[in-house]
A and B are shown apart, each in its own frame.
Chain A
Amino acid sequence: MAASVFIGGWVAAGLTLFMFSFLYKDNPFFRFGEHLYVGISMGYIIIRIHYDVMIKSLYSPVTQEGKWWLVIPALLGLLVLARFIPKVSWLSRISFAVIVGFGSGVAIPRIISSNILQQVQGTLKPILNAGQRPFGMTQFNALLILAGVITVLIYFFFSIEHKGVIQISARIGIYFLMINFGAGFGYTVMARMSLLIGRFDDLILFASREYAYASLILLILVTLGLVLWERGRRPSS
């Protein structure tokens, strides 16, 4: 095994355990790991911006391909940074106006098409085609979806008073929403457990003989560290 991989295993296992120590309580190991994460992330993003944006998307096209007009977005980009100078921070509004104006403009027709028209079409089409086949599970599900969409939209329509038929529809809509939230919660639990499984998988790998039982040794050291830290705190607290 390469030395860099071996050392990397020890470092990864150690940092993982530092972060997990938060489960006991907030402590210096966790704080160190947390701030290290912030610093390394910032450094990584700076490098990616430098190479993938400044050099690949700006410097190379301007100097090697003669696309001099890209100096205009570069200037607009610099204006964004004017936000840090209070006297001229208003200049950044020009850049944000371009970003927000373009973003809003491109979004409107695309969202109307994807999220509204196609979704409505997808709801109504199975109903309109239902008469062509004998009524079965597919048709039942299509009706259920239609009922769900309408009742949920009625629930969110707060401009009219929820009375009578509207109130009944809104209450049905709430139950559909509860099922959606329940499904979301169940899947969120699945996601969080999967992340945990991933980290434990790595810790098990780093506990193997190839890595000289890194996870186990570091677990003992971190635990010892926490005990000493607690003892050090007690007289003052």
Chain B
Amino acid sequence: MTLFLRRTFPLIITFLFGVAFAIQYYVPHPVSEAALTEVSVWLRIILGFAMILGIASLGQVHYAKIRTGVAGWGYSVVVYVSMLATVGVGLWAGGQEEGTGFGWIYAYTLLALQGTMFAMLGFFVASAAFRAFRARSKEAAVLLLAAIVMMFGRVPLGEYLVPAAGPLAGWLLNVLNTAARRGIIIGISLGGIATSIKIIFGIERSYLGGRE
């Protein structure tokens, strides 16, 4: 019985939900539409709880660092203090951001920190362009050429110096890039559908986790 509940029952649920909602798309009956509406509400609630999973995992990692006193544990204290302070201010503001302390934290700390973290990639892309982007083969040369045409033709200075650069970059995007990208999209979609079918029929079980 335990084995049935642990292994087979989840696979049955996956199968039932998968088949039901794959077929639902082709059944315009009001009951079918109502089922889609209701279950999509359920999914939003369940996924909200699943977000707690990520937060809790992160909290666990930093708590372990503080408890064991590994090098850099002080920074984990920073994580906890800032998290609790944000939650405290957020609860006090009732979750509202307009003109509140919670909004201030968002606007002047989170925006600055996350924005800068990703902005630094600009420096690293330049460094990588100088150190690694070499035309070692014909294919790499084509890649390089396409990149240069794109970077040149999609900025006002490039279009000013060479008026044909803009339309050339546009043609590359709308024709050659579209062709390759379409092939990739069709390929990925076919693979995705195959994986979805394998999941529904219980052939692919990695999403369940664990060895049982």
Chains A and B directly touch (beta carbon < 8 Å)? yes
Least CB distance from B39 to A in Å reads 6
By the criterion CB–CB under 8 Å, are A104 and B18 in contact?
yes
A230 to B168: give the CA distance in the assembly, Å: 50
Given the complex, which residues of A lie within 8 Å of B212, measured CB to CB?
90
A205 to B123: give the CA distance in the assembly, Å: 21
By the criterion CB–CB under 8 Å, are A39 and B83 in contact?
yes
Contact code string B86-113 (vs A, CB < 8 Å = 1, else 0): 1100110011000000101111111111
Given the complex, which residues of A lie within 8 Å of B113, measured CB to CB?
15, 19, 33, 36-37, 40
Given the complex, which residues of A lie within 8 Å of B181, measured CB to CB?
180
By the criterion CB–CB under 8 Å, are A49 and B82 in contact?
no
Residues of A28-44 at the interface with B, using a CB-CB cut-off of 8 Å, are 31-44
Q: Which of B21, B42, B48 contacts A54 (CB 8 A)?
A: B48
Q: Which of A12, A80, A115, A202 contacts B50 (CB 8 A)?
A: A80
A84 to B9: give the CA distance in the assembly, Å: 21
Q: Which residue, A92, A144, A178, A195, has most C-beta atoms of chain B within 10 A? A: A178
Least CB distance from B112 to A in Å reads 4
A98 within 8 A of B: yes
Given the complex, which residues of B lie within 8 Å of A57, measured CB to CB?
41, 44-45, 48
Beyond A43-B84, A190-B151, whether A105 also contacts B56 by CB under 8 A is: no
By the criterion CB–CB under 8 Å, are A106 and B58 in contact?
no
Given the complex, which residues of A lie within 8 Å of B70, measured CB to CB?
none
Given the complex, which residues of A lie within 8 Å of B172, measured CB to CB?
179, 183
A68 within 8 A of B: no
By the criterion CB–CB under 8 Å, are B183 and A90 in contact?
no
By the criterion CB–CB under 8 Å, are A32 and B150 in contact?
no
Q: Which residue, A7, A9, A186, has most C-beta atoms of chain B within 10 A? A: A186
Given the complex, which residues of B lie within 8 Å of A149, measured CB to CB?
179, 182-183, 186
Q: Which residue, A76, A93, A100, A148, has most C-beta atoms of chain B within 10 A? A: A93
Residues of A169-190 at the interface with B, using a CB-CB cut-off of 8 Å, are 173-183, 185-190
Q: Which of A12, A23, A38, A144 contacts B175 (CB 8 A)?
A: A144
Beyond A16-B112, A186-B154, whether A47 also contacts B189 by CB under 8 A is: no
Q: Which of B45, B50, B62 contacts A58 (CB 8 A)?
A: B45
Q: Which of B145, B147, B176, B199 contacts A104 (CB 8 A)?
A: B199
A76 to B82: give the CA distance in the assembly, Å: 30
By the criterion CB–CB under 8 Å, are A95 and B79 in contact?
no
By the criterion CB–CB under 8 Å, are A178 and B55 in contact?
no
Contact code string A2-14 (vs B, CB < 8 Å = 1, else 0): 0010011101110
How many A residues, CB 8 Å from partner?
116
By the criterion CB–CB under 8 Å, are B75 and A152 in contact?
no
Least CB distance from B28 to A in Å reads 13
By the criterion CB–CB under 8 Å, are B75 and A32 in contact?
yes
By the criterion CB–CB under 8 Å, are B45 and A74 in contact?
yes
The residue on A at minimum CB distance from B183 is A152
Given the complex, which residues of A lie within 8 Å of B45, measured CB to CB?
53, 57-58, 70, 73-74, 76-77
Beyond A42-B58, A141-B175, whether A105 also contacts B200 by CB under 8 A is: yes
By the criterion CB–CB under 8 Å, are A101 and B13 in contact?
yes
A62 to B120: give the CA distance in the assembly, Å: 46
B31 within 8 A of A: no
By the criterion CB–CB under 8 Å, are A98 and B13 in contact?
yes
Residues of A92-128 at the interface with B, using a CB-CB cut-off of 8 Å, are 92-112, 115-116, 119-120, 122-123
Given the complex, which residues of A lie within 8 Å of B115, measured CB to CB?
16, 195, 198-199, 202
A212 within 8 A of B: no
B148 within 8 A of A: yes
Given the complex, which residues of A lie within 8 Å of B142, measured CB to CB?
175, 178-179, 182
A72 within 8 A of B: yes
Name 8 interchain pairs, CB-CB below 8 A, sorted by A.
Answer: A4-B104, A22-B120, A38-B62, A40-B113, A53-B48, A57-B45, A188-B125, A195-B121
Known contacts A33-B113, A105-B196; 10 further A-B pairs (Cβ under 8 A): A23-B123, A33-B116, A53-B44, A53-B51, A57-B41, A101-B18, A104-B18, A105-B18, A176-B176, A178-B140
**9 shortest interchain CB distances as A-B pairs:** A148-B179, A43-B86, A182-B146, A186-B150, A152-B183, A77-B49, A39-B82, A101-B17, A53-B48
